[in-house]
Every structure is written in structure tokens, then in C-alpha cells.
Amino acid sequence: TQTQTQATAAASGSRATERFRENKQSAAGTGTERVALLASRVIKAINDAVLEEKVSYDEYNAFKAWLIKVGEDGEWPLFLDVWVEHSVEQVASEHRQGSKGTIEGPYYVPGAPALPSPATLPMREREQGTPLLFQGRVTNVDGEPIAGAQVEIWHADDAGFYSQYAPGLPEWNLRGTVIADADGRYRIHTVQPAPYQIPTDGSCGQLIAAAGWHAWRPAHLHLKVSAPGHELITTQLYFAGDSHIGDDIASAVKPELILAPVPRADGRGHEATYDFALDPA
Ligand code: MBD
Ligand code: FE
């Protein structure tokens, strides 16, 4: 397709870098002691690897060239979200009692159109893929419904592409902010996403090929579920039977996050149910 032939690592990478700069720049206010501690640990970890593995000048220079290229490709968001974010998320969500979260990844865009439940996500007239009715309920940790909770959802299309990061897709394709009803229930009509492959033509793809790894994430829905007075959950949901559930390149699958879609009674695609319990803020 058009989308497939034109999508490049450099284009989606620079978009992700740009987005990160717009949305995630925070004055962290990290003190000098903390900066010194963390920077020393990371530098020491690299030096330990060099000494223990007797890294050569050729290898050191290949590493330096690769780091330079990651920046040129705009792939720092991709690299960090694939290989580091899962640990940050683990630390950030340790205290939670409610539903499990997982990593956000590089392709979230705030401000997707608000749609009352039941909703159909923005999609093309002949959007490819198995129709999916994704539904459930948002409650607090005591099981009480949260009326009007926001279920933000974004996912790849049937070819594995995200709107606003691959060319040729409508701006908000397969992205929406669905507002749960008075009983905290949501119903979202969409299509099942395809498994996602890390771009093979950029520096992350180059690393994956050079290391003999694979580039796949299992198919997934991304979500941010929120309500006033509650902690926002950033999560992803996967599909039972996906061949990459056991070896996600981004280490972001948890057993609690696997949907078991069933064929719909009317024969039109699948449906899957998932309830979210939000911790108090
Ligand atoms: C994705 O779609 C994604 O969710 C993550 C975490 C990394 C790369 C692509
Ligand atoms: Fe994703």
C-alpha cells in the first residue's frame, strides 16, 4: 500500500521526537546528588561491560557511530520506550491496587476527539481488519462505577501503522477519547490491530538485525483510563494466541493484560470485554 511504501524510520522517528518535546518536557527539578548518583551508575554500567567483555576500539567506534545515528533518525523515543520504559513503569506502578498498567510507548497523541459511549473510532471508509467491539466498565478499587470516566484509546491499523506517525492516514485514525456512561460502561467499535514491527530501516532496526533479535511486538490496544480523583492508568491490552505474546521486544506484556476476543453473535468480527479499576489519587 501507499502507507507501507512511504513509511520510513526517519519520518516516524522525527515525529516521535517532536511530539516528545511538545508534551513531555518537564522541569524534573532533580537535585545534584540524585543526578550524580544516576549518571555515575549508568556510566559505571557501561564501563563494567567494556572491561568485562574486553571491548575493542572497533566495537567502541561502532557503538559511537550507532549512538550518533539513533539521534539522527530521531529514534531515541523508540529505543528508550522499547528497551527501558518497562522498568520505569514497574517502579511507577508498584504501589497500585487497581488494574495493571504498562508502557505508553512512543505513539501517544493527546487530545484525540471526545466520543460518547457507545463510540466508533475514527476510521477510513474501508478500514481493513477484523471488526472489534471492545467494551467494559470503569470502577474504583471497591468496584463502584465511575460515571463519565475517560477511556483514551489509540492503536495501529491492520498494516501495523499509527496515524500521525505514518504518512497517508487521516489525522485521528483509530484514536479517540471515549466517555463512559453513567454506569461507567464503555463500548468501542474499532478493528483489530496487526502486530507491530519496529522499523527495520532505522538504527533500532539495525541493532536488532546485528544482534539477531526479532523486531516484533504483539498486536495491542493502547489506553489511558482516567477520572477526576483517581490515578490515571496507562496500559496496553493484547490478544490471546498472538505469537509474540511471549517474546515482546518491548517487554510490556503482563498476564493480566491479555484479552480473549470471541466471535460476535451477529457474525461481525469479535468482541472483547475488559474492566478497569482505578486507584484513588
Ligand atoms: C509501539 O507501537 C509501541 O507500543 C512501543 C512500546 C514501541 C514501539 C512501537
Ligand atoms: Fe504501540
**48 pLDDT above the threshold of 80:** yes
Specify the pLDDT at position 26.
Answer: 67
Helices (H), 160-250: 203-211
Residue 82 CB less than 6 A away from ligand 1: yes
**81 pLDDT above the threshold of 80:** yes
Residue 81 CB less than 6 A away from ligand 1: yes
Say if CB 197 and CB 247 are below 8 A apart.
no
Nearest CA to ligand 1 atom 5: 105
Specify the pLDDT at position 144.
Answer: 98
166: CA distance to ligand 1 center in Å?
Answer: 13
Percent of the chain's residues with pLDDT above 90: 86
User: Residues 171-185: pLDDT tens digits?
Assistant: 999 999 999 999 999
**2 pLDDT above the threshold of 50:** no
Candidates 196, 235, 238: which one to mutate for ligand 1, based on the most atoms within 8 Å of Cβ? 196
Residue 204 CB less than 6 A away from ligand 1: no
Say if CB 141 and CB 277 are below 8 A apart.
yes
User: Residues 205-263: pLDDT tens digits?
Assistant: 999 999 999 999 999 999 999 999 999 999 999 999 999 999 999 999 999 999 999 99
197: CA distance to ligand 2 center in Å?
Answer: 10
**72 pLDDT above the threshold of 80:** yes
Say if CB 146 and CB 138 are below 8 A apart.
yes
Specify the pLDDT at position 27.
Answer: 59
Backbone angles phi, psi at 198, to 5 degrees: -55, 135
**264 pLDDT above the threshold of 60:** yes
Percent of the chain's residues with pLDDT above 70: 97
Candidates 107, 253, 254: which one to mutate for ligand 1, based on the most atoms within 8 Å of Cβ? 107
User: Residues 9-27: pLDDT tens digits?
Assistant: 888 888 888 888 888 766 5
Separation of alpha carbons 216 and 163, rounded Å: 19
Q: Which three three-digit cell numbers place residue 92?
A: 511507577
Say if CB 151 and CB 180 are below 8 A apart.
yes
Sign of the dihedral through C-alpha 115, 78, 272, 263? positive
Q: Comparing 27-41, 178-192, 195-209, which segment has the lowest mean pLDDT?
A: 27-41
Residue 106 CB less than 6 A away from ligand 1: yes
At how many degrees (to 10) do helices 9-23 and 76-83 cross?
80
Say if CB 130 and CB 193 are below 8 A apart.
no
48: CA distance to ligand 1 center in Å?
Answer: 30
Residue 77 CB less than 6 A away from ligand 1: no
Nearest CA to ligand 1 atom 1: 105
Nearest CA to ligand 1 atom 3: 105
Q: What is the mean pLDDT of residues 94-114?
A: 97
Residue 238 CB less than 6 A away from ligand 1: no
Say if CB 63 and CB 3 are below 8 A apart.
no
Residue 157 CB less than 6 A away from ligand 1: no
Q: What is the mean pLDDT of residues 187-208?
A: 94
Strand-strand pairing, 216-217 and 196-197: antiparallel
The reported pTM is: 0.94
**71 pLDDT above the threshold of 60:** yes
Q: Which three three-digit cell numbers place residue 214?
A: 526479532
Grade residue 119 by pLDDT with cuts at 50, 70 and 90: very high
Sign of the dihedral through C-alpha 278, 271, 165, 250? positive
User: Residues 131-163: pLDDT tens digits?
Assistant: 999 999 999 999 999 999 999 999 999 999 999
Q: What is the mean pLDDT of residues 264-277?
A: 95
Q: Return the amino acid letter for 15.
A: R
Q: Where are the beta strands (DSSP E) in 77-230?
A: 114-116, 119-120, 131-140, 150-155, 175-179, 185-191, 196-197, 216-217, 220-226
Read off the DSSP letter of residue 112. Answer: P
Cis geometry, peptide bond prior to residue 118 (ω within 30 degrees of 0) = yes
The pocket of ion ligand 2, defined by CB under 5 A, consists of: 105
- For the range 116-119, what are the long-range contacts, defined as Cβ-Cβ under 8 Å and sequence gap of 24 or more? 116/178, 116/179, 116/181, 117/151, 117/178, 117/179, 117/180, 117/181, 117/185, 117/186, 117/187, 117/188, 118/186, 118/187, 118/188, 118/189, 119/176, 119/178, 119/186, 119/187, 119/188, 119/189
**97 pLDDT above the threshold of 80:** yes
H/E run at residue 71: helix 57-72
Sign of the dihedral through C-alpha 107, 70, 243, 90? negative
Q: What is the mean pLDDT of residues 126-133?
A: 97
Say if CB 239 and CB 102 are below 8 A apart.
no
Sign of the dihedral through C-alpha 53, 58, 64, 70? negative
